[in-house]
């Protein structure tokens, strides 16, 4: 099929920053794009060929949008899967498939999938409601501490909480959830796997992620991870095993823990471009966003190794500021070597909202990490 400068239409469900960065690449290739998103203020609005307003969880909105495109992909997994199944039956190509998304969309289903396929993950208990947890604690079926995760619709630090005392359960929503054993670990790692419909597969180098203690958001992504080659190989092998088991097409970001004994346990996966791959825009031969387009269109996959070491810093709204956004000291960071800011186009900031990211590239990874710290201290996302 001719995708380039043709009548072909690529549909993207979701209009956030991931979609916007996908669109940089569809523009490069002159691929016609249609985006469905509930907000008129979406970052994607200025970059796609057609912008459609609609709720991604609404069956009719997703179905009617999907009927107008040739291939449908996502930039967020919280979408109406029944509509995707209907579209697939009618011949629309949907990547990742409805079947893959059904496994991933619910964290309890996702964890059970790992257990069923002998993929290493931390022990967990599934609950229909958060309110059932107290009873499990009283009867010894569960012990503190553990990680509480809502089964659906959690993202960027929402829907996850470390529960150390019974009091920590107080403000949690009463929803379907899982309680995961709190695993002592050395590192949080991630591997992005790309796979096209022909089954060609490539992995990006393992990255390590440093998290903000309160917001449970990634602060730094460091690529390549500063770990032993044997551990990196193990992480890649686990990521490939998940990719094969789940039979995804597109990108699959696999987040993992490296335990004290250097075992690799899967935390969770995302079937789309991911925060742990933003540095690929500057640091890799093929960015994760270009790779996702190649994969869902069944084109040959691009080279995934690094041209240079990269560190990514998330730009999130500063605490105590809400309203029209101002990026304080952005000129200062642009004066630093190897520093590239990406501003997502969200006009309103609020505490911990993801507003952009900054990539730092350097031949010396430790120097890149040092500059990243300086970037983090210098730039502030505040309001007018």
Give a three-class secondary structure readout of 299-324: CCCCCCCECCEEEEEEEEECCCCCEE
89 known ligand binder: no
For residues 84 and 96, what is the distance between their CA atoms, to the nearest angstrom?
10
Let me know the angle formed at the C-alpha of 23 by 17 and 24, rounded to the nearest 5 degrees: 100
Euclidean distance between CA atoms 341 and 247, whole angstroms: 34
188 is in an annotated binding site: yes
Helix (H, G, I), strand (E, B) or coil at 128: coil
The H-or-E segment that residue 257 falls in is strand 250-259
Tell whether 182 is in a known binding site: yes
Burial class (CB in 10 A: 0-12, 13-18, 19+), 87: buried
The answer to whether 214 is a known ligand-binding residue is no
For residue 275, report the phi and psi dihedrals to the nearest 5 degrees.
Answer: -50, -30
Distant-in-sequence, close-in-space partners of 300: CB < 8 Å, separation ≥ 6: 196, 200, 294
Token pair belonging to 244: 């094969």
Residue 267 labelled as part of a binding site: yes
**Known binding site for ATP: residues?**
107, 149, 180-183, 188, 267-268
The annotation places the binding site at 107, 149, 180-183, 188, 267-268
């Amino acid at each position: 099929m001719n995708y380039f400068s043709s009548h072909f239409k690529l549909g993207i469900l979701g209009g956030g920053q991931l979609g916007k960065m996908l669109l940089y690449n569809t523009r490069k290739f002159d691929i016609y794009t249609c985006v469905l998103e509930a907000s008129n203020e979406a970052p994607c609005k200025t970059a796609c060929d057609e912008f459609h307003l609609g709720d991604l969880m609404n069956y009719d909105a997703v179905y009617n949008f999907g009927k107008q495109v040739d291939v449908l992909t996502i930039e967020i997994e919280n979408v109406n899967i029944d509509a995707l199944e209907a579209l697939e039956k009618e011949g629309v190509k949907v990547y990742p498939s409805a079947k893959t998304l059904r496994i991933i969309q619910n964290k309890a289903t996702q964890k059970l999938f790992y257990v069923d396929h002998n993929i290493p993950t931390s022990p967990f208990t599934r609950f229909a409601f958060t309110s059932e947890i107290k009873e499990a604690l009283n009867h010894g079926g569960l012990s503190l501490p553990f990680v509480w995760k809502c089964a659906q619709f959690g993202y960027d630090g929402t829907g996850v909480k470390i529960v150390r005392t019974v009091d920590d359960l107080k403000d949690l929503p009463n929803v379907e959830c899982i309680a995961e054993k709190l695993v002592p670990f050395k590192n949080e790692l991630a591997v992005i796997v790309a796979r096209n419909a022909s089954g060609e597969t490539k992995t990006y180098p393992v990255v390590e992620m440093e998290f903000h203690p309160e917001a449970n958001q990634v602060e730094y992504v460091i690529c390549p991870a500063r770990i032993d080659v044997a551990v990196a190989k193990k992480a890649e092998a686990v990521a490939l095993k998940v990719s094969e088991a789940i039979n995804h097409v597109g990108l699959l970001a696999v987040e993992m823990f490296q335990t004290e004994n250097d075992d690799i346990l899967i935390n969770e996966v995302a079937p789309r471009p991911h925060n742990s791959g933003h540095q690929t825009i500057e640091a890799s031969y093929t960015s994760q966003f270009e790779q996702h387009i190649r994969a869902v269109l069944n084109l040959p996959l691009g080279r995934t190794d690094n041209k240079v070491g990269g560190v990514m810093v998330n730009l999130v709204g500063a605490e105590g500021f809400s309203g029209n956004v101002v990026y304080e000291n952005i000129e200062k960071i642009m004066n630093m070597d190897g520093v590239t800011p990406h501003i997502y186009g969200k006009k309103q900031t609020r505490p911990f909202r993801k507003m952009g990211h900054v990539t730092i590239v350097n031949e010396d990874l430790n120097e890149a990490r040092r500059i990243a710290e300086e970037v983090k201290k210098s730039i502030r996302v505040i309001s007018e």
